[in-house]
Amino acid sequence: MSTGVFSAAELRRSGFDDSDVRKEVRVGSLIRLRAGWYAIPTADPAAMHAVRMGGALGCVSALRWHGLWIAPGYEGVHVRFSKHGKHTRRPGCQGYGAQAPVATAVDPVASALKYAAKCMSAEDWITACDSALNKARQTVSGLQDEMGPIPKKMHLLMEKCDRNSQSGTESLTRLRLRAAGFKVITQPPIPDVGRVDLRVGRLLIECDSKDHHTSLADYQNDRRRDRAALRGGWLTMRITYDDVLYGWDGVLDDVRAITRPDRHRIRR
Ligand SMILES: [Zn+2]
């Protein structure tokens, strides 16, 4: 996958010398964005914008470009400037660590996370880390090796990461329930049911992601799992993207009510 934005060095590595590049610009198949940076006409608009400003697509925007799960609310273009670029006092994201030169139009995941740690809420950032770990099938220490030196604050947040999380909604639900004092088991294997997203006591919680298109087979399998769970004495709660992002208080109330120790006495 490419943004369609290239540095002169990248073009040279692909076999385009300076006169080739000039020719491509003349015929319109390459657009010159700024000194040493070019784009094809169908290039990613956000990457073009970042490079035109003198930086790279970084931080949250880079994480989104890499296909990670990002909570809503970070829609603007996040630009990362190099140390050199910062002298011009352009606004940009302020990350942790030394500011590396801009070598590619989009920052790699590990360095984008070091910037996003200052732009995102702690909860949303851990969720983005979960997504990075899950997508790359990577461990926390492997990701930290790629990040290089990071502050204690980031280390502490990463202790709350879970690379087995299947979706952002699952990560947010886990983090919020634990913050509310619940003991949450992630991805427990349930006899006759299989793995579920989360478990709090006898309550099994399944988090549906926004882009989860239910096929007939999935639909039928979910109903079979629900029956098997009930038969095993479990309760199943299915929560949606909108429930987690826009109706969390209601979800938390329900989990509290369902898991209250004296629930059975109240129902007598
Ligand atoms: Zn940012």
Predicted confidence (pLDDT) per residue in 2-24, tens digit:
899 999 999 999 999 999 999 99
Which CATH architecture group holds 168-266? 3-Layer(aba) Sandwich (3.40)
Classify the phi-psi angles of 20: left when phi > 0, otherwise alpha if psi is within -120 to 50, otherwise beta: alpha
For 249-262, write each residue's pLDDT tens digit.
Answer: 999 999 999 998 75
CA 61 to ligand 1 center in whole angstroms: 7
Measured from the Cβ of residue 177, the count of other Cβ atoms closer than 10 Å reads 20
CA 116 to ligand 1 center in whole angstroms: 5
**What was the pLDDT predicted at 212?**
58
CA 79 to ligand 1 center in whole angstroms: 7
**What was the pLDDT predicted at 92?**
81
pLDDT band of 88, cuts 50, 70, 90:
low
- In the chain, ranges of CATH 3.40.960.10 domains: 168-266
**What was the pLDDT predicted at 268?**
47
235 neighbors 257 (Cβ within 8 angstroms): no
The residues, any chain, with a CB within 8 Å of residue 184's CB and separated by 6 or more, are 174, 177, 178, 198, 199, 200
CA 95 to ligand 1 center in whole angstroms: 8
CA 90 to ligand 1 center in whole angstroms: 13
Q: How far apart are CA 10 and CA 36, in angstroms?
A: 10
59-88 burial code (b ≥16 CB/10 A, e <16): bbbbbbbbebbbbeebeebbbbbbeebeee
Bridge partners of residue 39, in order along the sequence:
5, 31
CA 142 to ligand 1 center in whole angstroms: 23
